[in-house]
Amino acid sequence: MSTIDSTLTSFIDIKSDSDFSIHNLPYGIFSVAKDSVRRAGVAIGEHVLDLSVLETEGLLSLQGGPYFDQPTLNAFIDSGPDNWKHARTTIQKLLSSDNATLRDDAELQKKVLLKQADVTMHLPVQVPGFTDFYSSKEHATNVGTMFRDPNNALLPNWTEMPVGYNGRASTVIVSGMDIVRPSGQLKPNPDERPVFSACKRLDFELETAFVVGKGNRIGQPIAVDEAARHIFGMVLLNDWSARDIQKWEYVPLGPFNAKTFASQVSPWIVTMEALAPFSTACPAQEPKPLAYLNEKDSDSSFDITLSVELLPEEAETATVICETNFKYMYWSMAQQLTHHTITGCKVEVGDMMGSGTISGPTPDSYGSMLEIAWNATKPVTLEGGATRSFIEDGDTVIMKGYSEKYGIRIGFGEVRGTVLPALSFDFNK
């Protein structure tokens, strides 16, 4: 576990509850106007530090660069851990309160420090592949209890391996984009044929995703005790779900259209180096995993506080409907990555791998509306008196996350999406 240097401060005025302290420095891709050139920056307080300008000015030189005048972070991530570390160290020095280079140069500050409110954020990486796991024991137990046998909620394979499926990288989208309600086949009456309809049970899934920082060769699995070195950082993920479409389509091959319309991520990638001081143990795993999943590092999870807010259209205030923590996850990211590659599957820089819905042990810590409203049998009352069993048109879902220790906060910002009505289809024309 890394330690936190509490003496490190920035010359920039940063609020104590800001997600973006000098100890964080998450990477993202931004533009000043929606259609202007995209480049890389880090978040610091309410600002974005333009890394492409630092490169041009000769203040951030990395082996094999330049890297930050590009529309994605893939090339920088692919350049390897030595560059990751050098970049982080250099940026922290430039932003520190005892370094005059940027602190005392007002003209340079105008070039490199932009207000976050004045920029447009974009998807930070080109995503070659997207995988979603199912690694919260509480979530899997809740779903199994609802739809199967409460006494045998978990299927036999669940405690033996990180269960997952391959999703669609093409619909990984950034926070702030609207979500069009999906349409597809539903089967509301078990004794009748399916119907084509707009989804009536639209749901969120509170997740995180890790970004692969180093790939492997096809046929060469990544060992579990090496897996952490293959992970660059983490983002928040709302893996939107059409529950009624999924219920009809998932047998026998699992989720398909119900999960391919939008997987929405926060724009800032929080590095594993920034999160290292907040590492913690995973829950006890019983039975002990097979040897290839058996980690030497007992602190392979992270203490990350997570929440979900629901803001109906025209409402003045959002309602917090979930508060949970990443540390409840049964399977670690290292175990997920190792299991993903154990048959020889090739993963690539920029691949995103979702945690699966993160639920805690109590109803207020459940990470999906399916669980919170218990399959529509316990509707949730929002601020102002409205109720919800699933997500309605005009609703905005906001997910947040942060780690905090000794007064030092490392945050993810938010992932936010607003639901638009389904498209109108007329198949008779």
Task: Measure the CA angle with vertex 317, ends 312 and 322; round to 5°.
Answer: 75
Task: Measure the CA angle with vertex 412, ends 166 and 406; round to 5°.
Answer: 130
Backbone angles phi, psi at 16, to 5 degrees: -65, -25
Closest CA to 69 of 107, 41, 27, 111: 41
Whether cis (ω within 30° of 0) applies to the bond prior to 289 is no
Q: What is the DSSP letter of 215?
A: -
Distance CA 244, CA 131 (A): 21
DSSP string, 241-276: EEHHHHHHH-TTT--SGGGSS-EEE-S-BEEHHHHG
Instruction: Find out whether 292 and 338 touch, Cβ atoms under 8 Å.
Output: yes
CB count within 10 Å of CB 362 equals 10
Instruction: Find out whether 315 and 386 touch, Cβ atoms under 8 Å.
Output: yes
Residue with tokens 């990544």: 222
Whether cis (ω within 30° of 0) applies to the bond prior to 252 is yes
Q: Which residues contact 291 (CB under 8 A, 6 or more apart)?
A: none
Choosing from 47, 122, 139, 339, which is the catalytic residue?
139
Whether 340 is catalytic: no
- Which positions are catalytic? 139
